[in-house]
Amino acid sequence: MQGNLFEPEVIKKTKLGQSSINYKHASSILTPASGFMKEYDFTLNPYSGCSFGCTYCYAAFFARDNEAKEKWGYWVNVKDNALALLAKWRNKSLDGKTIYISSVTDPYQPIEKELELTRSILNELALFHSPRIVIQTRSPLVVRDIDILKKFETVQVNMTITTDNEDVRKAFEPYCPSNQKRLDAIKLINSAGINSCITMTPLLPIDNPHNFINSLLETGVSKYIIQPFHPEKGKYVAGTREDALRIVEQFGWNHAKYEQALSIIKEYIPNIGVGQSGFAPI
């Protein structure tokens, strides 16, 4: 899979679900962290683009051109030489370095089940380094790698769960696994003794804040992060944007509604992390 570094940039193209899959060589795999993730040492993105196609995804704004932004959710680039690039760090110490996986994609894309690129990267890090790892995903596939995650002295898995309503989830996260599958996955991660966190980022319209938070607490997870959803016109980039706008209007979801839900959630989780500070390295 690593290929020859002197092969053409685009190695092959395939299709998975609604997304085209492109295999490309990257120039680097560890990026010095900045912006929202500036407290980390590095971010690591095995992929660019995303098959999940969330209508609120900020990462779409980093797409290379307007066409790529408009087709967000319909393309994924695989960094085919990612493992080879990471292997070059074997003579450099990443011990104690904080690495966020991933900042502008989901490391457990559907194609990951076949390629095992993220798994290979985690194994490389576990074998040759001792970094502090935070994994951000909305995919139950992460449970596949429990065996490798247990090899890290310091690791945390963040599972994104944004609503208790499947109609909302389908409008905003059209190609994502269901809420229940994500809840089951993070419960399993947590029960395996791996540091776990649920990120309500952003918090989307919910049916009942009390029932919602109780369903999260039933996972056994004790760490949570939350931030508001900003439904400004023009921020929607995925194909379901009209459905998303309709849901926002139907729920009357605005900042006041978010603050009301947040106050209720804080009754259950007084120490919930809010916004950027909640994502501080472990």
Q: Is residue 270 part of a domain?
A: yes
pLDDT digits (tens, 9 = 90+) for 223-247: 999 999 877 655 666 666 788 888 9
Q: Is residue 39 part of a domain?
A: yes
CB burial string 164-179: b at 16+ within 10 A, e below: bbeebbbbbbbbbbeb
Query: What average pLDDT does the segment 201-214 reach?
Result: 96
CATH number at residue 130: 3.80.30.10
Q: Is residue 188 part of a domain?
A: yes
Q: What percent of the chain has pLDDT over 70?
A: 90
Query: What average pLDDT does the segment 7-26 reach?
Result: 76
Q: Is residue 19 part of a domain?
A: yes
Q: What are phi and psi of 52, to 5 degrees?
A: -80, -25
Q: Is residue 185 part of a domain?
A: yes
**Please, are residues 19 and 74 in contact by the beta-carbon 8 Å criterion?**
yes
Query: What average pLDDT does the segment 80-98 reach?
Result: 96
Q: Is residue 5 part of a domain?
A: no
In whole angstroms, what is the distance from residue 236 CA to residue 239 CA? Answer: 9
Query: Strand, helix or coil at 146?
Result: helix
In whole angstroms, what is the distance from residue 127 CA to residue 250 CA? Answer: 50
Q: What is the DSSP letter of 177?
A: P
Cα–Cα separations (whole angstroms), residue 152 to 96, 101, 197, 208: 11, 14, 16, 37
pLDDT digits (tens, 9 = 90+) for 65-88: 777 777 887 899 999 999 999 999
Closest CA to 54 of 197, 240, 271, 182: 240
- Confidence class of residue 61 from pLDDT cuts 50, 70 and 90? low
Q: Is residue 93 part of a domain?
A: yes
Residue 151 has pLDDT above 70, yes or no: yes
Query: What average pLDDT does the segment 115-127 reach?
Result: 97
Q: Is residue 147 part of a domain?
A: yes
Closest CA to 199 of 223, 234, 218: 223
Exposed (0-12), middle (13-18) or buried (19+): which is 116, by Cβ within 10 Å? middle
Record the pTM: 0.92
- Confidence class of residue 140 from pLDDT cuts 50, 70 and 90? very high
Domain hosting residue 84, numbered range: 10-279
Given the structure tokens 């139950």, which residue do they identify?
140
Upper half-sphere CA count for residue 248 (Cβ side, 13 Å): 20
Q: How many domains does the chain have?
A: 1
Query: Strand, helix or coil at 45?
Result: coil
Comparing 88 with 10, the larger pLDDT belongs to: 88
What's the pLDDT at 8? 37
Q: Which residues contact 271 (CB under 8 A, 6 or more apart)?
A: none
